[in-house]
């Protein structure tokens, strides 16, 4: 069975770049909820470059859909790496304006989705369950540290939950051959930034010591390092990649 690199929410942005770079070393599976055209194009691009890739439509916050997605992945090979990348911001809102349905959706995707995917990966990777071990990398956010006041405290809180899950799960499965880490990107030049007011975005960029936004390619390289043997003694880490902020 071939060893697979799985990326949730892999059709665009940071997830797509992770998939592109991972495909140089692994057969890649991405999951996506919408934007089938972008997922299909990514798979074709990877194949055109000589790699192997598959795209599976599945909502990470839907337990039945993800259970089915992992069953489909089982038919392709064994999971060596899972990247929990799928996420939503819930749009911009102050805490005194945020709606309960927004909170529910952000938690469903960002927290429940990450737990479900990690659960399914551990069941397959754990040496205690007959697996060969593996790596889980969670894509968190600098928002979990900075709070994202005036824009999306709700999103920041969901990423705080992901950070806690990363540390706890890492300790839980460290002796079962599984490493679990998180990358906390700062301001990255992707579609997600379009939710921010332009003036606020300019102020945020100005506050970054390196004086610029990061790129999806840079975040992908960080994830690939954590997934590689070069990080073999790294687990339970929350790696900040935010230009010095």
Active site residues: 155
- In the numeric block, the tokens 């064994």 are attached to 78
Question: Phi and psi at residue 238, in whole multiples of 5°?
Answer: -115, 95
Residue 37's φ and ψ, nearest 5 degrees, are -60, -40
Long-range CB pairs of 192-199, under 8 A, 24+ apart, other chains included: 192/13, 192/89, 195/89, 195/91, 195/92, 195/151, 195/152, 196/92, 196/151, 197/92
Helix and strand numbers (H, E) in the chain are: 9, 7
CA separation, residue 71 to residues 78, 142, 202 (Å):
11, 33, 44
């Amino acid at each position: 069975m071939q060893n697979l690199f799985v990326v949730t929410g892999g059709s665009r942005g940071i997830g797509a770049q992770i998939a592109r770079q991972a495909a140089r070393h692994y057969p890649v599976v991405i999951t996506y909820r919408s934007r089938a055209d972008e997922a299909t194009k990514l798979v074709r691009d990877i194949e055109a470059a000589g790699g192997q890739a598959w795209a599976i439509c599945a909502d990470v916050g839907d337990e039945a859909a993800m259970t089915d997605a992992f069953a489909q992945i089982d038919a392709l090979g064994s999971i060596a790496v899972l990247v929990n990348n799928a996420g939503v911001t819930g749009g911009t809102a102050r805490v005194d304006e945020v709606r309960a349905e927004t909170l529910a959706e952000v938690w469903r995707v960002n927290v429940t989705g990450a737990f479900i995917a990690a659960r399914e990966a551990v069941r397959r990777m754990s040496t205690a369950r007959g697996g060969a071990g593996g790596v889980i990398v969670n894509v968190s956010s600098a928002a979990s540290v900075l709070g994202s006041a005036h824009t999306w405290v709700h999103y920041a809180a969901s990423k705080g939950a992901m950070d806690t899950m990363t540390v706890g799960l890492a300790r839980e499965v460290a002796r079962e051959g599984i490493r679990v880490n998180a990358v906390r990107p700062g301001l990255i030049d992707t579609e997600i930034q379009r939710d921010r007011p332009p003036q606020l975005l300019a102020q945020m960029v100005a506050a970054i010591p390196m004086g610029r936004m990061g790129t999806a390619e840079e975040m992908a390289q960080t994830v690939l390092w954590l997934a590689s043997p070069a990080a073999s003694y790294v687990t339970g880490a929350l790696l900040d990649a935010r230009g010095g902020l």
